[in-house]
């Protein structure tokens, strides 16, 4: 039975009905707004593992900014990239570019059941935000429809930094810390990868 605590957002209790133990999940994340990305990435990984996905079957790749997400997602699905960082080492590598930690492995072609694209776009003074948000949204939708591999839209499009922090569960405002949307993306990936799209 569902235990809905708020109206808005995904019902996370539903995700417990899916078993992620045989799934391989890719994560592509941008490096812009790194502290927020880091929290979202952690929330995503935690939820994937909670849903049974083995940490060695979670492959993490980073790109400079959100605009690069559709291209990298497509490459990841096609398996045409040579190497990717794996495990927590990647998270550490993201915040410390001098780290020699990332372990690299070759990724076999077509080996992902779902890919989660994570980025944080924060509106600035110019039209950058609007153009990139729209391009990335359409780009990621195209990738999943063309490839047949589910792509989870893990891109925050926030009007200010405070909104983005709250949606990564690290807010500092009157509304408290907020909710880490990475958890929702992890749950959505396991559900979509399980291909259980029968009507309920």
Q: Which residues are catalytic?
A: 128
If one asks whether residue 121 binds ligand DLZ (CB under 6 A), the answer comes out as: yes
Q: How is 25-79 classified by DSSP, letter by letter?
A: EEEEEE-TTHHHHHHHHHHHHHHHHHTT--GGGEEEEEESSGGGHHHHHHHHHHT
Stretch that binds ligand DLZ, among 26-34, 52-60, 81-89, 91-99 (CB under 6 A): 26-34
Q: Which is nearer to ligand DLZ, 12 or 120 (CB)?
A: 120
Smallest gap from residue 123 Cβ to ligand DLZ (A): 8
Q: For ligand DLZ, which residue has the nearest CB?
A: 65
Looking at the Cβ atoms of 128 and 172, the one nearer to ligand DLZ is 128
Concatenated DSSP letters for 99-162? ----EEEE--TT--SEEEEEEEEE--SSSHHHHHHHHHHHHHHHHHHHH-S-EEEEEEEESSHH
Tokens for 38? 């880091």
The smaller minimum CB distance to ligand DLZ, of residues 91 and 120, is found at: 120
* Contacting positions for ligand DLZ (CB under 6 A): 30, 32-33, 64-68, 119-122, 124, 128, 132
């Amino acid at each position: 039975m569902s235990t809905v605590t708020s109206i808005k957002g995904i019902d996370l209790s539903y995700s417990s009905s899916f078993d992620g133990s045989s799934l391989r999940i890719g994560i592509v994340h941008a490096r812009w707004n790194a502290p927020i990305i880091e929290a979202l990435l952690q929330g995503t990984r935690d939820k994937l593992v909670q849903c049974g996905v083995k940490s060695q079957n979670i492959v993490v790749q980073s790109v400079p900014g959100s605009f690069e997400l559709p291209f990298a997602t497509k490459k990841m699905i096609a398996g045409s990239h040579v190497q990717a960082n794996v495990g927590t080492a990647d998270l550490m590598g993201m915040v410390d570019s001098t780290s020699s930690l990332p372990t690299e492995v070759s990724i076999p072609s077509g080996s992902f059941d779902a890919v989660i694209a994570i980025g944080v776009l924060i509106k600035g003074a110019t039209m950058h935000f609007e153009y990139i948000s729209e391009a990335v949204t359409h780009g990621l939708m195209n990738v999943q429809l063309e490839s047949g591999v589910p792509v989870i839209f893990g891109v925050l499009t926030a009007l200010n930094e405070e909104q983005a922090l709250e949606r990564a569960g690290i807010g500092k405002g009157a509304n408290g810390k907020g909710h880490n949307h990475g958890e929702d993306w992890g749950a959505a990936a396991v559900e979509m990868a399980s291909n259980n799209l029968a009507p309920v």
